[in-house]
Amino acid sequence: MKLSNRIGLLKPYPFVEISRIIAEKRATGIDVVTFGIGDPDIPTPEHIVGRLEQASHHLPNHRYPESDSLPEFRRAVAQWYENRFGVKLDPDKEVLPLIGAKEGIGHVAFALLDPGDLALLPDPAYPVYAVGTMFAGAESYTMPLTEKGGWLADLEAIPEDIAQRASLMWLNYPNNPTAAVAEPDYFEQVVRYAKEHDIIVLHDAAYSEVTFDGYQCSSFMQAEGARDIGLEFHSLSKSYNMTGWRVGMAVGNSELVRGLLKIKENLDSGIPQAIQEMAMEALLGPQDCIEHNNAIYKARRDKVVGVLRDIGLEVESPKASLYVWAKVPSGFTSAEFAARLLEDNSIVVTPGSSYGVNGEGYIRLSLTTPDERVETGVQRLASWEIPSPSSAAS
């Protein structure tokens, strides 16, 4: 029995591996504190779940949905974008609901790339950008993200022959894993560069509503000309604690929306309509849950950043996202340091190398761990004396 060659090209998905490690440790009775996966532990707000309960009894919601979803849901997405960013979208041409942002991010490569095409991908980055590119038979060119560059892709560093070949570019701000943010002038620069080189821009904005200390994120769609060349992917997962319900959206250029819809029409049957109704409630109902969530994440951020600094790690306090990105001590690789944290403290973090070669030397900690587990993790770290690299390797 033979599997396809592309299966052999796939690396282990990092979050599946993290779940396996946690399960193994807990099966032996070890009390593991995980800062590994960015899956909100806060419940979906009651008013949103209540809408689902009502919608689940509505007979039309028991049947197949449409791939482009309910017109009312597309209008809700357009209204949310106008309320939040001042961006006016045509709900029938510039909005496409998704079965979670990950689904659209993975599928869009099939709409935009042919074998031999070239995609510009950030590194470190969410792994699905590269996986979708590979599935489509296209090539990847890495745009290194560095601490010195503020974790922003340096467009001027892209060789001109690469830029001329490139079909599309992936960006992601607030960034996973680094928690970096991009300001409006950077998005304007990206639009100019993309138009000059005829490159489609795909922006993953899943974390735009998780912000701290009064910071507010911009949308790529706010940049002048962004809709001429781009799509923005968004999600209700992090904003409204809805990871398990699988609902997101892509908005932007109507031709790109139409191409992605063609793929979806042939590969999925759309979002269950009862979930679309709860998503409408999330987008157009009370928004105070976002501020409530962010207050919880901020308290966790401050504890985690504080203890990491106390034990000697270099770390910036993030303005946005669910993650803390910390530099590991000299002499360790990111995987070695993560392994030592697990061995000495039963604490799970994600090695930066899981996100690409430019993530080496860092670890990512998620803030989606319940408060009491954060406290346990912080206490363990506070009493930990980091071993020397030589003793760590022994």
Residue 394 confidence (pLDDT):
43
What is the C-alpha to C-alpha distance for residues 261 and 245, in angstroms, rounded to an integer?
20
Q: For the segment 339-385, what is each residue's pLDDT rounded down to a tens digit? A: 899 989 999 999 999 999 999 999 999 999 999 999 999 999 999 99
The distance of Cα 68 from the centroid of its chain, to the nearest Å, equals 22
Answer whether 239's CB lies under 8 Å from 233's CB: no
Strands (E), the chain: 33-34, 95-98, 118-123, 139-144, 166-172, 200-204, 230-235, 248-252, 314-315, 323-327, 347-348, 350-351, 362-366
In this prediction the pTM is 0.94
First to last CA, the chain: 42
Residue 315 confidence (pLDDT):
98
Q: For the segment 193-234, what is each residue's pLDDT rounded down to a tens digit? A: 999 999 999 999 999 999 999 999 999 999 999 999 999 999
Residue 14 confidence (pLDDT):
65
pLDDT tens track of the chain, all 394 residues?
Answer: 888 888 888 777 666 666 777 777 777 877 899 998 889 999 999 999 999 999 999 999 999 998 899 999 999 999 999 999 999 999 999 999 999 999 999 999 999 999 999 999 999 999 999 999 999 999 999 999 999 999 999 999 999 999 999 999 999 999 999 999 999 999 999 999 999 999 999 999 999 999 999 999 999 999 999 999 999 999 999 999 999 999 999 999 999 999 999 999 999 989 999 999 999 999 999 999 999 999 999 999 999 999 999 999 999 999 999 999 999 999 999 999 998 999 899 999 999 999 999 999 999 999 999 999 999 999 999 999 998 886 554 4
Listed in sequence order, the residues at least 6 apart from 214 whose beta carbon sits closer than 8 Å to its beta carbon are none
Domains of the chain: 5-44+289-393 (3.90.1150.10), 46-284 (3.40.640.10)
**33-34/95-98 β-pairing:** unpaired
| Tokens encoding 113 | 């790339």
Mean pLDDT of the chain: 95
Answer whether 178's CB lies under 8 Å from 171's CB: no
What is the C-alpha to C-alpha distance for residues 31 and 51, in angstroms, rounded to an integer?
37
| Tokens encoding 210 | 């998780």
Residue 393 confidence (pLDDT):
46
Is the backbone of residue 183 left (phi > 0), alpha (psi -120 to 50) or beta? beta
